[in-house]
A = this chain, B = another copy of it.
Amino acid sequence: MRMVRWQPGARERLQAAALERFAAQGFDGTTVAEIAATAGLTERTFFRHFADKREVLFSGQDEFERLFVTGIAGSAETDPMAIVAAALEAATGFFPDERRAWSRARQGVIDADPGLQERELLKLSGLAVTMTRGLRERGVDPTAAALAAESGVAVFRVAFATWIAEGEERSLAEVQRAVLAELRSLVR
């Protein structure tokens, strides 16, 4: 049997170290060796946790999408936008307030790199596709499903940007509810 020494908190230390290096010297200008050294760990330990340095910024995406999917499937609502609101609420579990500083720093790194921006955009587009499918499985007609899903992603995107803005103190759930209310008042 091969022994794998598990470093407690290694994953979190690597994530913090990566953000620190990316912020200081850019995403492209940072190597995995530097991230590992900054975290006081080996490259081998890095690769036990992440496939590559981009993965540090995008890991957890499956879990994030799953919160939306189970939020849609499990909602007691039948109105499409009410289902979407329930899914948005469920997804805030992924972003507790303790995560705000990390999310803010991560966004700074992404905003500085066109390739990472594209990756992020594709992630959110994939989320809209996933939500559309989930709504259709709930019996929502195709047009309404697509519109409700896209609106939900728009609300998430705007709320998330507000949540990580300097000085914002409301939880993501509170911000999201306010943004959804603003959408309702805008579109009616």
Interface residues of A (CB under 8 A from B): 80-81, 118, 121-122, 125, 143-144, 146-148, 150-151, 153-155, 157-158, 161-162, 179, 182-184, 186-188
Q: Which of the listed residues A148, A179, A183 has the most CB atoms from chain B within 10 Å of its own CB?
A: A183
Q: How far is the CA of A151 from the CA of B149 in the complex (A)?
A: 11
Question: Do the beta carbons of B162 and A158 come within 8 Å of each other?
Answer: no
Q: How many copies of this chain does the complex contain?
A: 2
Residues of B within 8 A of A188 (CB): 184, 187-188
Complex interface: chain B residues within 8 A of A154 (CB) = 146-147, 150-151, 154
> How far, in whole Å, are A81 and B187 apart by their CA atoms in the complex?
6
Residues of B within 8 A of A151 (CB): 150-151, 154, 183, 186-187
Chain B: CB-nearest residue to A128: B154
**A158 vs chain B, min Cβ distance (A):** 5
Q: A122-B118, A125-B121 are in contact. Are A147 and B182 (CB under 8 A)?
A: yes
Question: Given the interface contacts A80-B186, A122-B118, A186-B81, does A158 sit within 8 Å of B148 by beta carbon?
Answer: no
